A = this chain, B = another copy of it.
Amino acid sequence: MNIFLKDLDLSYIWHPCTQMYDHKENIPLIPIKRAEGMVLYDFEDRGYLDCISSWWVNLFGHCNAYINQKLKEQVESLEHIIFAGFTHKPIIDLSKRLMDILDSKFSKCFYADNGSSAVEIALKMAFHANMLKKEKKTKFLCLHNAYHGETMGALSVGDLGIYKEVYEPILLQSLRVKAPYGNDYEESLEDLERLLKSHKGEIAAFILEPLIQCAGNMNIYDKAFVKEATKLVQSYGIYVIFDEIAVGFGRSGSMFAYQQCGVVPDFLCLSKGITGGYLPLSVVVTHQEIYNLFYAPYYENKAFLHSHSYTGNALACACANAVLDIFEQNNILESNKILSKFIWEKMQVLKTFACVKNLRYCGMVFAFDLVGFEGVRKGLEVFNAGLKKGLLLRPLGNTIYLMPPYIITQEQVVYIIKSLQEILGEF
């Protein structure tokens, strides 16, 4: 069944973020029959521990009984309706609950389907808000090593060459600030100040991933940079966008990363974990000052006329509400602290390997770099070796990371670390 399905897949499907040639020999393509909790099962019933939460989206395990139940209940009454002129309780509940846990400065939720679209909305809204203030600012400021998605606007404020380089001729040119790296951020602040001074009249907004540049090889950096940079940018009257698509919903250790940093952005982009890994949903949260700029009689042509057909999807909102239920009922942020500490302690043993450098963590993100293998796809070897041991890892180049669902057990952590030791021991 596995082989038959694999061949069918390769006949008809072009996978995302994949050199399909790799499936010829370097990387197996694995058809999954079912999933439960931490584990994906193939058609031979081999299990794979989902150490990366299926691209950082799953929070409480696959086919979670509670989320399943809530989704099935929702489908009985309302699956989806147009979200202009009409509304529904699941999205009102979700919006109110988000506002209850977010800073009081925030007041409005603008929904979309995926993270890239959320970033596009934040960029357009920031640009448009300036235009409504009669300020034509056509540049966005972003960090080196940033990733914000792959639609053309989102890609314009990213900085990862493999995703972006070829498209440069059709992208908006952004201003890029030296990225902070770990605790090293002084030069980044200087670079930021220099750019602000020389381009302040042109910059519509500054976008960053607070605390962790995830796709940028899990660069975990100092919260002081987030704080200082945000204050500095805002002091110039420039909007700040936090892309918490990957780090929101507990991943950074707090419910949202900005909460650790002592500053509040003008726009907050959320997605991925919002539905617990079930369905595409994203939201841009912003404050009343922005909203009011657009709020005017129709004939003034100030409306923000962005939409996606499935905006406000009731099924996705039902999953998101279930996720918030689980956070509340099980005090997840507290239990994650214990879990995070446990994983971090167990990982220390990896330091004994000479090839392991820069072991680091933040909340429920753990990473290290494999060094001494320049130009070699060592991460790919780890991926393939992981599969043989029943682990789904998906290294970023030669950076190995764990970003597990919050339901991972201590036994599973021990098994993963032991397996990594064995894999690294073979190098």
Contact = CB atoms under 8 A, between A and B. Distances in A.
A138 interface: yes
Interface string A67-95: 11001100111111111111111011001
A311 interface: yes
Contacts of A5: 87, 89, 92
A96 interface: yes
A35 B79 contact: yes
A13 interface: yes
Given A31-B87, A33-B77, A13 B277 contact: no
Given A75-B68, A108-B14, A278-B79, A85 B298 contact: no
Chain A's interface: helix, strand, loop or mixed, by majority? mixed
A86 B31 CA distance: 6
B279 A12 contact: no
Contact of A152 (B63, B83, B153, B316): B153
Copies in the complex: 2
Q: Which of A19, A29, A58, A136 is most buried by chain B, counting CB atoms within 10 A of its CB?
A: A19
A22 interface: yes
Interface string A197-224: 0000000100000000000000000000
Contacts of A91: 9, 13
Contacts of A87: 5-6, 9, 13, 15, 29-32
A170 interface: yes
A359 interface: no
Contacts of A302: 19
A305 B166 CA distance: 11
B308 A115 contact: yes
A271 B309 contact: yes
Nearest to A303: B19
Contacts of A167: 124, 127-128
